[in-house]
Amino acid sequence: MDVALAAFVAVAEQRSFTRAAAVLHLTQPAVSQHMRALETRYGVPLVERDRRGIQLTPAGTVLYEHARRILHEYALAQRRLEELTQTPRGPLKIGASFTFGEYVLPHVIAQLTRAYPQVEPHVWIENTHRVAEQVAHSELDVGVVEGPVHHPELVVTPFLRDDMELVLPVGHPLAQAAAVDPQALSQATWLVREPGSGTREIAERTWEEMGIRPAAVLELGSIQVIKESVEAGLGVALLSRWAVRKERTLGVLCCRPLLSHPVQRWFSYVLRAHQFRTKALEVFLTTLCEFNFQHGPDLKV
């Protein structure tokens, strides 16, 4: 690896020679020497000091963008070569949409790390749209989403069925009804996630298919907040059975399947087309499939 480029990138990101030296486990004079060598090599100043600290010059900005890509490619080449001879190990960047990431992925990660303790999963939780974008831009090694993804650079593989249920406050009139009346649901306040969420998208599709026109829609930032709000009597929601397992067991929420209109979707993993699969990624995908075999689609809750 070009240590001078690594020193330059660290200085650019840390805005400090001292912090860059700490990140790289080098002395500050060594970092300064690498910076001078780069500036001599290219014949232009790359950084300058002002009241805010270290700032990139125009030439430094250009070099920074290329240097980041060079170092990324070097690290990727090193990982690929190591994969030829070593057991699954190293970092694995996983993105997941909220339902899967908060209620299923922790169990998958536990199963993965028990079997392959040298794999180092790093998890980011975002909505479906954001996860797909991060995979497409190589910011993540793999994504697991609950909503549809249409992207020319991505391959989407469904692997685990997810059944959705109407979630009601305990004591709600529909909790004991023989059948769920779409007209009654039109009179309810619906609690939903933000646009771009798979959970939001399937709720809107269900409204359209069942002819439901919600009296009011309240947008909330997480599934946990939605569940707490339903329990408090603010409205009703359509949520994954995975997300309400504990509340169902504790009896703090009432969950009803829409028998006249079963709502199902699939969790899918998302990869870039023609993506190189490290051993760490391969065993993660294998673990996903094993988890499906063990727990889906006939999940007992």
Q: Based on the number of CB atoms within 10 Å of its own CB, is 274 exposed (0-12), middle (13-18) or buried (19 or more)? A: exposed
Return the domain boundaries, the chain. Answer: 3-83, 90-160+266-295, 163-261
Spell out the alpha helix ranges (H) of 152-217: 182-186, 198-210
* Residue 55 β-bridge partners: 48
**Residue 50 to residue 60: CA distance in whole angstroms:** 15
What homologous superfamily is domain 90-160+266-295 in, according to CATH?
Answer: Periplasmic binding protein-like II (3.40.190.10)
In the predicted model, what is the mean pLDDT of residues 278-285?
92
Cis peptide before 297 (omega within 30 of 0): yes
The pTM (predicted TM-score) of the whole model is 0.65
pLDDT of 293 reads 59
In the predicted model, what is the mean pLDDT of residues 19-46?
90
In the chain, the largest separation of any two C-alpha atoms, in whole Å, equals 80
**Residue 74 to residue 129: CA distance in whole angstroms:** 29
Give per-residue pLDDT as tens, 140-169. 999 999 878 888 899 999 988 888 889 999
Long-range contacts of 291-300 (CB under 8 A, 24+ apart): 291/104, 291/107, 291/108, 291/111, 291/160, 292/159, 292/160, 295/160, 296/160, 296/161, 297/160, 297/161, 297/163, 299/163, 299/241, 299/242
Residue at token pair 């250009």: 62
Q: Give the CATH number of domain 163-261.
A: 3.40.190.10
pLDDT of 299 reads 40
Spell out the alpha helix ranges (H) of the chain: 3-14, 17-24, 28-42, 58-83, 98-103, 105-115, 128-136, 182-186, 198-210, 223-231, 245-250, 279-295
Domains 3-83 and 163-261 share a fold: no
- Does residue 117 carry a pLDDT above 90? yes
Q: Is 270 helix (H, G, I), strand (E, B) or coil?
A: strand
The band of 78, judged by pLDDT with boundaries at 50, 70 and 90, is confident
pLDDT of 167 reads 93
Q: Give the CATH number of domain 3-83.
A: 1.10.10.10
pLDDT of 51 reads 76
pLDDT of 210 reads 87
Give per-residue pLDDT as tens, 47-70. 998 877 789 999 989 999 898 889
In the predicted model, what is the mean pLDDT of residues 239-258?
89
Q: What is the mean pLDDT of the chain?
A: 87
